[in-house]
Chains A and B, each alone.
Chain A
Amino acid sequence: MKVAMTVNGTLESHDVEARTLLVDYLRNVVGLTGTNIGCDTTSCGACTVLLNGQSVKSCTVLAAQAAGDDITTIEGLALEDGRLNPVQQAFQECHGLQCGYCTPGMVMAITSLLTENPHPTEEDVRVGLEGNLCRCTGYHNIVASALAASGVVEMHQ
Chain B
Amino acid sequence: MSILGNRVVRREDPKFLTVGGTYVADLDLPGSVYLTFVRSSMAHAKLLSVDTSGAKAMPGVVAVYTNDDLGIARMPTIMGMTNEAMTQPMLASGTVRYVGEPIVAIVAESREIAADALEAVVVEYEPLTVVIDPAEARKDNDLLFPDAGTNTTFTLDFGGDEALFDDCEVVVELTLINQRVAPCPMEGRSAAAHMTKDGRLEFNSATQAPHGVRDGLAGFLGLEPDKVHVVTPDVGGGFGAKASVYPEDIVVGWCAVHLGRPVRWTETRSESMLGLGHGRAQLQHVRMGGTRGGVISAYRIDVLQDCGAYPAFGAVLPFMTRVMTSGPYKIPKAEFGSVSVVTNSTPTTAYRGAGRPEATAAIERTMDVFAREIEMDPAELRRRNLIGKDEFPYTTPTETVYDVGDYHQALELALEVAGYDELRAKQARRRASGDPIQIGIGLSCYVEITNGLPDGEFGAVEVRPDGKIIVRTGTSPHGQGHVTAWSMLVAEQMGVPIEDIEVIYGDTDVVPRGAGTMGSRSLQIGGAAVNQAAVDVVEKAKDLAADLFEADREDIVLDKSNASFHVIGTPAVSKSWGELAKAAVAKDGNPLFAEVDLASPGPTFPFGTHISVVEVDVETGKVTLLRHIAVDDAGRILNPLLAEGQVHGGIAQGVAQALLEEVVYDPDGNPLTSTFADYSFISAAELPSFETRFTETPTPINALGAKGIGESGTIGSTPALHNAVCDAVAHLGVRHVDMPTTPIRVWNAINDAAPHHDAKNTTKKGGR
Known: A34-B19, A40-B675, A84-B18. A140 touches B648 (CB 8 A): yes
Q: Chain A residues near B26 (CB, 8 Å)?
A: 27, 33
Q: Is the CB of B17 within 8 A of A44?
A: no
Could you give, for residues 114-126 of chain A, a 1 whenever the CB lies within 8 Å of some chain B CB and a 0 otherwise?
0000000010011
Q: Is the CB of A43 within 8 A of B677?
A: yes
Known: A40-B270, A92-B9, A135-B185. A101 touches B237 (CB 8 A): yes
Q: Is the CB of B187 within 8 A of A99?
A: yes
Q: Is the CB of A99 within 8 A of B234?
A: yes
Can you report 26 A-B residue pairs in the complex whose CB atoms are below 8 A from each other?
A33-B22, A41-B676, A43-B676, A92-B10, A92-B13, A95-B644, A98-B479, A99-B187, A101-B186, A101-B237, A103-B21, A122-B689, A131-B683, A134-B186, A135-B183, A135-B649, A136-B186, A136-B479, A136-B645, A138-B649, A138-B652, A138-B713, A139-B652, A140-B687, A141-B648, A142-B684
* Interchain nearest-CB distance for A25 vs B (Å): 13
Q: Chain B residues near A143 (CB, 8 Å)?
A: 684, 689
Interface residues of B in 626-682 (CB under 8 A from A): 641-642, 644-645, 648-653, 675-677, 681
A interface bracket (residues with beta carbon within 8 Å of B): 35 or more
Q: Chain A residues near B183 (CB, 8 Å)?
A: 135
Interchain CB contact (< 8 A) of A98 among B25, B112, B481, B685: B481
Q: Is the CB of B649 within 8 A of A43?
A: no
Provide the bound-state CA to CA distance between A40 and B683, in Å.
17
Interface residues of A in 135-156 (CB under 8 A from B): 135-144
Q: Is the CB of B23 within 8 A of A101?
A: yes
Could you give, for residues 684-714 of chain B, a 1 whenever the CB lies within 8 Å of some chain A CB and a 0 otherwise?
1101011000000000000000000000010
Q: Check B513 for interface membership: any CB of A closer than 8 A.
A: no
Q: Chain B residues near A37 (CB, 8 Å)?
A: 25
Provide the bound-state CA to CA distance between A35 and B20, in Å.
7
Could you give, for residues 52-89 of chain A, a 1 whenever the CB lies within 8 Å of some chain B CB and a 0 otherwise?
00000000000000000000001101100000100010
Interface residues of B in 151-209 (CB under 8 A from A): 183-187
Q: Is the CB of A74 within 8 A of B18?
A: yes
Q: Check B268 for interface membership: any CB of A closer than 8 A.
A: yes
Interchain CB contact (< 8 A) of B184 among A36, A103, A127, A135: A135
Interchain CB contact (< 8 A) of B19 among A41, A75, A91, A137: A75
Known: A41-B677, A99-B185. A136 touches B20 (CB 8 A): no
Interface centre among B19, B183, B186, B237 (most CB of A within 10 A): B186
Q: Is the CB of A38 within 8 A of B645?
A: no
B interface bracket (residues with beta carbon within 8 Å of A): 35 or more
7 new A-B contacts, CB < 8 A, other than A97-B10, A101-B23, are A36-B23, A74-B17, A77-B18, A93-B9, A95-B642, A100-B20, A129-B683
Interchain CB contact (< 8 A) of B21 among A101, A131, A133: A101
Q: Check A7 for interface membership: any CB of B closer than 8 A.
A: no
* Interchain nearest-CB distance for A10 vs B (Å): 15
Which chain A residue shows the least CB distance to B11? A92
Which residues of A does B touch, CB under 8 Å?
Answer: 17, 19, 27, 33-44, 46, 74-75, 77-78, 84, 88, 91-93, 95, 97-104, 107, 122, 125-127, 129-144
Could you give, for residues 444-465 of chain B, a 1 whenever the CB lies within 8 Å of some chain A CB and a 0 otherwise?
0000000000000000000000
Which chain B residue shows the least CB distance to A78? B18
Provide the bound-state CA to CA distance between A154 and B234, in Å.
33
Interface residues of B in 466-482 (CB under 8 A from A): 478-481
Interchain CB contact (< 8 A) of A74 among B20, B23, B649, B651: B20
Which chain B residue shows the least CB distance to A88? B17
Known: A75-B20, A133-B676, A135-B185. A127 touches B685 (CB 8 A): yes
Q: Is the CB of B684 within 8 A of A136?
A: no
Q: Chain A residues near B13 (CB, 8 Å)?
A: 91-92, 97
Which chain A residue shows the least CB distance to B481? A98
* Interchain nearest-CB distance for B289 vs A (Å): 37
Provide the bound-state CA to CA distance between A139 and B686, in Å.
10
Q: Is the CB of A126 within 8 A of B237?
A: no
Q: Is the CB of B480 within 8 A of A44?
A: no
Q: Chain A residues near B269 (CB, 8 Å)?
A: 38-41, 44
Q: Check B239 for interface membership: any CB of A closer than 8 A.
A: yes
* Interchain nearest-CB distance for B645 vs A (Å): 5
Interchain CB contact (< 8 A) of B236 among A36, A77, A127, A132: A36
Q: Is the CB of A129 within 8 A of B675?
A: no
Provide the bound-state CA to CA distance between A135 and B713, in Å.
13
Q: Is the CB of B20 within 8 A of A104?
A: yes
Q: Check B611 for interface membership: any CB of A closer than 8 A.
A: no
Q: Chain A residues near B112 (CB, 8 Å)?
A: 17, 19
Q: Check B230 for interface membership: any CB of A closer than 8 A.
A: no
Known: A101-B186, A135-B185. A75 touches B18 (CB 8 A): yes
Interchain CB contact (< 8 A) of B649 among A27, A98, A101: A98
Provide the bound-state CA to CA distance between A144 and B645, in Å.
12
Interface residues of B in 1-34 (CB under 8 A from A): 9-10, 12-14, 16-23, 25-26
Q: Is the CB of B689 within 8 A of A100?
A: no
Q: Chain A residues near B20 (CB, 8 Å)?
A: 33-36, 74-75, 100, 103-104
Known: A100-B234, A140-B690. A43 touches B9 (CB 8 A): no
Interface centre among B12, B239, B645, B650 (most CB of A within 10 A): B645
* Interchain nearest-CB distance for A74 vs B (Å): 5
Q: Check B724 for interface membership: any CB of A closer than 8 A.
A: no
